[in-house]
Structure 1
Amino acid sequence: MNHTTAAAQLQQVARLWPDLTDALGTPTTGPGFGLGLRGYLATLDQHDAEQAEYDRWQAAALRALERSPDQLGTRPIPISLRVHDTMRTVEAALLETCDQIAAASQRAPMPPAPASWPTKDRIRRNRLAAADARDPQRWHLTGVRPGVIWTALWLSARADGARWPGRPLDEGQQHHVARVAAEALRRIEATLDLAEQRRELTSAHPCQCGGTIEVYGGAGAQPVARCKRCGAIWHEGGVVAA
């Protein structure tokens, strides 16, 4: 993967982040194809140990979020913990990568002029030092952390070789940014059900003929299930071919 691809992926992360934020407050519930491919697979694959553990964790967390109905005040809105988990993971990965790059490659701000300098030279130097410290491309390792959109765009600029108060990324840093960018976008697209997916169901969900059922869809396509033995096909309305 080249640096141009990584930069574009990070820009897509920034574009999709508002959609992920909107999805945080609208958890999906109920069975069936209407959940999209990811939700449908999660519903069918009830015997998968990882999903079962996630469901238990989600139920416990949602119970903790809820307040007793006889209490006064506004009850908190339940959130999608799957979306929340994706947001936390992506944010942590992006921030850590930016911190690592800044710690390794960003130069220190220009120091102010010594008091012994002539007044005119000291004023000019201090003006340049203040501007250097305020450079919008300077990454700050302390203080308030920037939002994910800004973080993704900052990292995209570094991958694209844009000017900043630091050295260009070396080959190792470029590879690391490329891996982080690809994984962040993959997680977001999977959570929003934007990525095309294909998966065979476990043996707990065979076709009536005993064949293995394959489910595919996503990326805007309607989820479809197909038996690999007899060829029966299902979609949200039921069996559509046999």
Structure 2
Amino acid sequence: MATTSAAARHLDTVITHWPDLYGILGTRTPATWPPAARMSEFITSLAELDTATAEATRARARYLRTQERDPGQIGASDPPLRIALLDVMHPLESGLLRMADAVAQAVQRPAYTASTGRGWTDPIHREMSMLAVRDAADPQRWRPDLLRTRNAVAAATWLRARAEGHPGPVRPLPEELRRHLTTVARSAAAAVDRALDLADRTAQLVRPCPLCGGRIDVQGGGGVDPTARCRRCGHTWATPPATTE
């Protein structure tokens, strides 16, 4: 059974999750780690505040939500798109497109051409002309001038086919170019992982353990809610469930 190359695995991450990046592009939830939206409640839980204090915190949160201005009102407002995410997506896509252009220039043969001087009356010339049209339109051919291929998914898909040695109007990748493609693909997948919080992460809280004063590590990522554990006493806290109040 053939094994998938490292470059192909990394490119699969880009291909699979690029639509997810677009899906969260218009949201206003910050992509910070640890998750800032719920870390105040998380830190509050470390101190094991009593019910009255917790209720006061929730009441203040409700009040602040009532003060949020409607985005339709006149005045300054947050941008409709998450600029930080765009700052990730734009160079990532540009890098994949440059890589596809470079690989195509190195390994893709030019499309067949047929002289137009003899017209369509010659059956052999007609067949050669049709062959040239089909070769130019081969879906395995990278077309830098084609608008629909100038996107991250199209570039990653084409590069994946090259990494796996799929048939097409190309020669096999030279080893040096294959290594470079693997590096680019790994970097692209890591950027997607960070943007979507797919990878496991660890962070250290500034606040010490309320039980022993030790350092607290927060672990999470990979779609899992973060948990905190004191290095000294080993006490563990789980992220409180999100409230709907």
Give the TM-score normalised by the residue count of structure 2. Answer: 0.72
Alignment of 1:8-157 (within 5 A): 8-29=9-30, 37-40=33-36, 69=74, 78-113=80-115, 115=117, 119-144=122-147, 145-157=149-161
Q: d(CA) in 2 for partners of 1:114 and 1:79?
A: 50
Deviations 1:163-192 (A, max 9, x none): 121211111111112112222112112211
Using the TM superposition, give the Cα deviation of residue 233 of structure 1 relative to its aligned residue in structure 2, in angstroms: 2.5
**Equivalenced residues, count:** 206
CA 1:189/1:38 → structure 2, altered by over 3 Å: closer, same or farther?
farther
Are 1:186 and 2:190 matched, yes or no?
yes
Q: Distance in 1 between matches of 2:125 and 2:34?
A: 62
Contact 2:97 2:151 in 1 (8 A): no
Q: Distance in 1 between the 2:140 and 2:153 partners?
A: 14
Q: Secondary structure in 2 aligned to 1:122? A: helix
Gaps of at least 5 residues in structure 2 are 41-70
Displacement after TM superposition at 1:218 (Å) = 0.9
CA distance 1:151–1:210, shift in 2 (3 Å): same
- Three-state SS of the structure 1 residue aligned to 2:165 is coil
- Alpha-carbon distance, 1:108 to partner: 1.2
CA contact 2:34–2:203 (8 Å) conserved in 1: no
Tell me the distance in 2 between the aligned counterparts of 1:132 and 1:170: 23
Distance in 1 of aligned mates of 2:230 and 2:95: 39
What is the SS of the residue equivalent to 1:113? coil
Deviation at 1:129, TM superposition (A): 0.8
> In the aligned structure 1, how far is the partner of 2:89 from the partner of 2:237?
33
Structure 2 partner of 1:62: none
Say if 1:205 and 1:100 are closer, same or farther in 2 by CA, change over 3 A.
farther
Larger Rg: 2
How far apart are the structure 2 equivalents of 1:104 and 1:196? 37
**SS of the residue aligned with 1:162?**
coil
**Is 1:160 the counterpart of 2:164 in the alignment?**
yes
Give the letter for the 2:158 counterpart.
W
Equivalent residue, structure 1, for 2:239: 236
The AA in structure 2 aligned to 1:175 is: R
Deviation, 1:70, is: 7.0
Residues 196 and 139 of structure 1: CA distance in aligned 2, closer, same or farther (over 3 Å): same
How far, CA to CA, are the matches of 1:186 and 1:112 in structure 2? 45
Q: 1: distance between equivalents of 2:99 and 2:213? A: 48
Cα deviations across residues 140-171 of structure 1 (Å, max 9, x unaligned)? 22342533222211111111101121211111
Q: 1:67 Cα shift? A: 8.8
Say whether residues 1:223 and 2:226 are aligned partners: yes
The alignment's TM-score, normalised by the length of structure 1, stands at 0.72
CA RMSD of aligned residues (A): 3.2
Residue 8 of structure 2 is matched in structure 1 by 7
Counterparts of 1:76 and 1:193 in 2: how far apart (Å)? 23
Whether the aligned pair in 1 keeps the contact of 2:198 and 2:222 (CA below 8 Å) is yes
